[in-house]
Structure 1
Amino acid sequence: MTAATWLIPGLDDIVRYGAPERRTEAISRIADLFFEDAATLPPRHIDLFDGLLIALIPHADTHARVDLAERLSRLNRAPPVLVGRLARENEIMVAGPLLRRSPVLDEDALIEIARAKGQDHLLAMSERPRLSPDLTDVLVRRGDRSVVRRTASNDGAQFSTTGYSELIGRAGDDGVLTLAVGRRADLPDAHLKTLLAGAHGAIRRRLADVVKPERQAKIEQAMAELAGKPAPATGKRNFVPAQRTVLALYQAGGLNESALFGFARVHQYEEGVATLAAMSGLDIETLDRLLSGARHDPVLIIGRTIGLDWVTAHALILMRLGPKRIPAQADIEAARISYARLAPTTAERVVMFWKARH
């Protein structure tokens, strides 16, 4: 602290009469002293540095303020007045680092800045590790498309009922925002249904494709309700004869991909599901529910897990659709590409999740 005390008597002269280079040098020297011992300084010494730097900051050039803000943004015990001053600057290069991550900025300060500043400041704030419902209310209400998308994609953000309603209202003509909101694990079921009601068909399908497996069932349920139909039912088929057939195949050494392809090719659904269950280790009820859904993904995931050729996976897709439904060639080609790109380890993790859940 001796060096800092030595600087204090000359501080007025530096501020009043010093050349810009001298002021910048003073800021650099004082900041370096602070950062050397920032983790162990007592509160009164932090306040001392706060006062020293506040006196010089109005006279510092942009580069010096940007450097100081970047270094302060990573500290848990930074000078609070100085941090607040820099975070309120109009120059986003200065304010941005602090708005993105400084733990020193409290909730009241963040909300005040969010209400007063422009879109660059809001965008920086939307990247904070945690966002409270009160803060996201302001970001969603005042933010432009980029701010709202970034806020909705932030896993550390929390939303009030009002905030979610605002998000869903703005998602009506924004597919990217619809996907961001729909993927949120904390989205209530009622809001999910409202979100899907305002989304285009392609966005609905894309959403079902990108969410985690445990959320797909809720999307299917909501889409079925929107269509005025009951959710897909499971357990209505009689798989007992098919299980006997598969058991006989197993005992004869014929339970393999060739047998599975033969059942799928002629649309023997029960036998195909029973064979797939025996080969994958999934129970029949779970498989029936997965294959009766709106997406081809379960076929691709299970097929990749047990190493099926694409021709067999293709036959299973046709089997699940039934003999009277002809899929679009573009859909089949998209499924083929997805199948080729799907890593076996990824597929295995999903199947393990299904097994653990059921």
Structure 2
Amino acid sequence: MTIAISLIPGVDQIIRRGDRGRRSEAARRIADLFFEDAAKLRPEHIDLFDGLLIALVPHTDVIARIDLAERLSRLDRAPRILVRQLAREDEIMVAGPLLRRSPVLDETCLIEIARDQGQDHLLAMSERPTLSADVTDILVCRGDRDVVRRAAGNGGARFSEFGYSELVSRASFDGVLTLTVGKRHDLSDAHLKTLVAGSLEVVRRRLFDVVKPERQAKIQEAVADLNGTTGSVPSSRNFVPAQRTVLALYESGGLNESALLSFARSYQYEETVAALAAMSGLKIVILDRLMSGDRHDPLLIIGRTIGLEWATVHALTTLRLGPKRIPAQADIEAARVNYARLVPSTAERVVTFWKTRH
């Protein structure tokens, strides 16, 4: 304490009775002194600085605290109590750098912050070089979409069985998360199978494209097990580029009826089938077969299940025939009447049958 007191006369009085400006200036000077010799200081000296700074730093302005947190976040031997104090601040610009990388924050402190603080703090924490399973358990339970995606994409993060179950469950509603989790090298075969089972066909195809060959074989096995077959039914069409297009729409929030109608009116068969697969949950191979049939009924059933307007269903029936064939007006009118009469619950039962049968 002698060094600090000699450098800043009256520091004791400043801590106890000084105004905000004097305390802020004292904190700045003590911090500068600490950083000058941080690498050479003994533990008891670091503790000395810790005791002085935790009393002064809360009285500094936010800009000063942001700068201090940034500098402390890169030190292996920083004042522990001060680091924990700053990491718990509500101001994320202060807490963020420490949560992202400070090696001084121990497991207990991280767990406490993960349980108590908001999404910005969880997001910063999800970027740490390493994360234990105890911490990620909290992140996948409390975190929003961005937090969970970031944690899943962190190669230094470890997940428990519970954590992976939560990730896979949330991935069934998030195609980006499906791709992120599917690329993890520590994902078990059992969790991979569940991940594949809960994903849309378009996302499943994209996952197959982005993983390593050994993981591709596992995905093929999982699909074969789910289908109860030893392989998939070959198609005469190549749907992969269309699936990529639809996946991009899905990720940007643009996969909707308007996009489907645009594909159908432009006679983009593969894109239309891929979009219908993503929107209905039916496999592409099934939809391809139904679209290639000689009846409009399957399109009416699928359209009613996902709540399409008649104009979109009409465009799908026209697409099915091709640009060079004009359907008879009587057939179109009959299809329109049947579509208006079709009960959604009946259509859903038929679609469920198609899904389970195949």
CA distance in structure 2 between the partners assigned to 1:332 and 1:122 by the alignment: 33
Partner of 1:12: 12
Q: Call closer, same or farther: CA 1:231–1:328 in 2, change over 3 Å.
A: closer
Partner of 1:136: 136
Structure 2-normalised TM-score?
A: 0.64
- Provide the alpha-carbon RMSD of the alignment: 2.3
Partner of 1:186: 186
CA distance in structure 2 between the partners assigned to 1:71 and 1:137 by the alignment: 29
CA contact (8 A) 2:202 2:244 kept: no
CA contact (8 A) 1:196 1:223 kept: yes
Partner of 1:327: 238
CA distance in structure 2 between the partners assigned to 1:95 and 1:171 by the alignment: 29
Partner of 1:29: 29
SS of 2:10's partner is helix
1:219 and 2:130 matched: no
CA distance in structure 2 between the partners assigned to 1:2 and 1:48 by the alignment: 10
CA distance in structure 1 between the partners assigned to 2:41 and 2:151 by the alignment: 35
CA distance in structure 2 between the partners assigned to 1:15 and 1:133 by the alignment: 41
CA distance in structure 1 between the partners assigned to 2:153 and 2:244 by the alignment: 30
Structure 1-normalised TM-score?
A: 0.64
Q: Call closer, same or farther: CA 1:116–1:129 in 2, change over 3 Å.
A: same
Fraction of identical pairs, as percent: 67
CA contact (8 A) 1:83 1:104 kept: yes
SS of 1:130's partner is coil
Q: Call closer, same or farther: CA 1:326–1:56 in 2, change over 3 Å.
A: closer
Structure 1, 161-170 or 3-12: larger mean CA deviation = 3-12
1:55 and 2:55 matched: yes
CA distance in structure 2 between the partners assigned to 1:76 and 1:168 by the alignment: 35
Q: Call closer, same or farther: CA 1:206–1:326 in 2, change over 3 Å.
A: closer
Q: Call closer, same or farther: CA 1:133–1:91 in 2, change over 3 Å.
A: same
Letter in 2 for 1:159: F
CA distance in structure 1 between the partners assigned to 2:244 and 2:200 by the alignment: 22
1:199-218 alignment, distance < 5 Å: 199-218=199-218
CA distance in structure 2 between the partners assigned to 1:57 and 1:185 by the alignment: 43
Deviation, 1:32, is 1.1
CA distance in structure 2 between the partners assigned to 1:329 and 1:96 by the alignment: 41
CA contact (8 A) 1:15 1:59 kept: no
CA distance in structure 2 between the partners assigned to 1:329 and 1:166 by the alignment: 29
CA contact (8 A) 2:205 2:243 kept: no
CA contact (8 A) 1:49 1:79 kept: yes
How many corresponding residue pairs? 245
Partner of 1:268: none
Deviation, 1:25, is 2.0
Partner of 1:172: 172
CA contact (8 A) 2:206 2:244 kept: no
1:182-331 alignment, distance < 5 Å: 182-230=182-230, 325-328=236-239, 330=241
- CA deviations 1:156-183 (Å, max 9, x no partner) are 0000000000111111110011111101
Unaligned runs of 5+ in 2: 246-358
CA contact (8 A) 2:205 2:240 kept: no
CA distance in structure 2 between the partners assigned to 1:333 and 1:193 by the alignment: 22
CA contact (8 A) 2:77 2:104 kept: yes
CA distance in structure 2 between the partners assigned to 1:328 and 1:208 by the alignment: 13
Unaligned runs of 5+ in 1: 233-293, 295-320, 335-358
Q: Call closer, same or farther: CA 1:99–1:328 in 2, change over 3 Å.
A: closer
SS of 1:173's partner is coil
Q: Call closer, same or farther: CA 1:83–1:332 in 2, change over 3 Å.
A: closer
CA distance in structure 2 between the partners assigned to 1:58 and 1:331 by the alignment: 56
CA distance in structure 1 between the partners assigned to 2:3 and 2:44 by the alignment: 16
SS of 1:38's partner is coil
CA distance in structure 2 between the partners assigned to 1:62 and 1:330 by the alignment: 50
CA distance in structure 1 between the partners assigned to 2:240 and 2:106 by the alignment: 55
Partner of 2:65: 65
CA distance in structure 1 between the partners assigned to 2:93 and 2:152 by the alignment: 24
1:83 and 2:83 matched: yes
